[in-house]
Structure 1
Amino acid sequence: MNPIAIGSFEDFEKYNGLELGASDYFRITQGQINLFADATIDHQWIHTDPERAKNEGGFGSTIAHGYLTLSLVPHLWEQIVQVQNLKMMINYGIESLRFAQAVTVDSEVRLVAKLKNVANLRGTVKAEVEVKLEIKDQKKPAFTGVLVFLYHFH
């Protein structure tokens, strides 16, 4: 699927209340988990010790940090929507974020997005996007929430 091209408030408005699509699946590796642990100084064994996680963790393997899965949003979001004619974008907030299921190492995840609401605030476009990070072959998502972006177009 090709990303939806958005270049103005009017472009966003056409999709208000509609599902925008889904990204490709993305595999989360132990290498990525380890790099995230280094970057965030969160070396909890359930993330970084495969042998201990296998024997003691309850998931059969290491799991990705919840915030690692959340940090994939920009990469996956641009596979769904490509915002053009952009002067600046601001990550404004996250509402109702819930981590519903652990993501085990080597799982594949994808982002599914729906435009919950869009508003023109004196030239700044506020987009509220319902997101769900699906885990391939699992019923429950890794997380759900509403992301709020502010877009300033040229």
Structure 2
Amino acid sequence: MAKIKLEAIRDFVGQNLGTSDWVTIDQPMIDQFAACTGDRQWIHVDAERASKESAAGGTIAHGFLSLSLIAPLGMDMGLAPVDASAVFNYGLDKVRFLTPVRSGNRVRLQLSMTSVEPKDNGRLLIKGNAVLEIENSQTPALVAETLTLVVP
């Protein structure tokens, strides 16, 4: 895990910040996400139907559930400078969902910092590259270009 300080943040540009711990995406998590978002499509919440009709052979996580893991896993990995007063998810420049995450799969995040851009009032915009891997899969669940705003 990286321990980033504001004075040395540019030293991490082009660097891999590491890999997160594995997280299991189970059916209760998928169901909770469906309840929160209102997206109760059968491919996510109907295990019986999905086992019969889905090409995945069972339910799959919402793409946005997988995407939502980037921020907390990135923070766990030390993306936020330890001496920053605030760090905000600023958005995404590009996201590609490559492989569905089946219920029961484990995922982890690989994160690298691609640039640090100065903004007004001493703030910094960190651009990163996030890859959410699926255990025992050659292809990741997703890749995303992330934006994080750091307030000193």
Which interval holds the TM-score relative to the shorter structure? over 0.9
Aligned twin of 1:11: 8
Query: What is the alpha-carbon root mean square deviation over aligned residues?
Result: 1.1
In the alignment, residue 63 of structure 2 is paired with which amino acid? G
What CA distance in whole angstroms lies between the structure 1 residues aligned with 2:40 and 2:149? 33
Aligned twin of 1:140: 139
What CA distance in whole angstroms lies between the structure 2 residues aligned with 1:104 and 1:148? 27
Aligned twin of 2:28: 31
What CA distance in whole angstroms lies between the structure 2 residues aligned with 1:5 and 1:39? 33
Aligned twin of 1:49: 46
In the alignment, residue 103 of structure 1 is paired with which amino acid? V
**Deviation, structure 1 residue 144:** 0.4
Aligned twin of 2:73: 76
In the alignment, residue 53 of structure 1 is paired with which amino acid? A
TM-score by length of 1: 0.93
What CA distance in whole angstroms lies between the structure 1 residues aligned with 2:108 and 2:29? 16
What CA distance in whole angstroms lies between the structure 2 residues aligned with 1:43 and 1:4? 37
What CA distance in whole angstroms lies between the structure 2 residues aligned with 1:48 and 1:102? 14
Aligned twin of 2:109: 111
**Deviation, structure 1 residue 90:** 2.0
| Equivalences, count | 150
What CA distance in whole angstroms lies between the structure 1 residues aligned with 2:72 and 2:90? 17
**Deviation, structure 1 residue 5:** 1.4
Q: Is the 8 A contact 1:118 1:126 kept in 2?
A: yes
Aligned twin of 2:84: 86
Q: Between Structure 1 and Structure 2, which shows a larger proportion of strand residues?
A: 1
Q: Map Cα deviations across residues 2-41 of structure 1 (whole Å, 9 max, x no partner).
A: x211231x32111111111110111001000000000000
TM-score by length of 2: 0.94
In the alignment, residue 149 of structure 1 is paired with which amino acid? T
**Structure 2 spans left out of the alignment, 5+ residues:** none
In the alignment, residue 110 of structure 2 is paired with which amino acid? V
What CA distance in whole angstroms lies between the structure 2 residues aligned with 1:74 and 1:113? 11
The SS at the match of 1:47 is helix
What CA distance in whole angstroms lies between the structure 2 residues aligned with 1:73 and 1:146? 11
Aligned twin of 1:100: 98
In the alignment, residue 84 of structure 1 is paired with which amino acid? V
In the alignment, residue 77 of structure 2 is paired with which amino acid? I
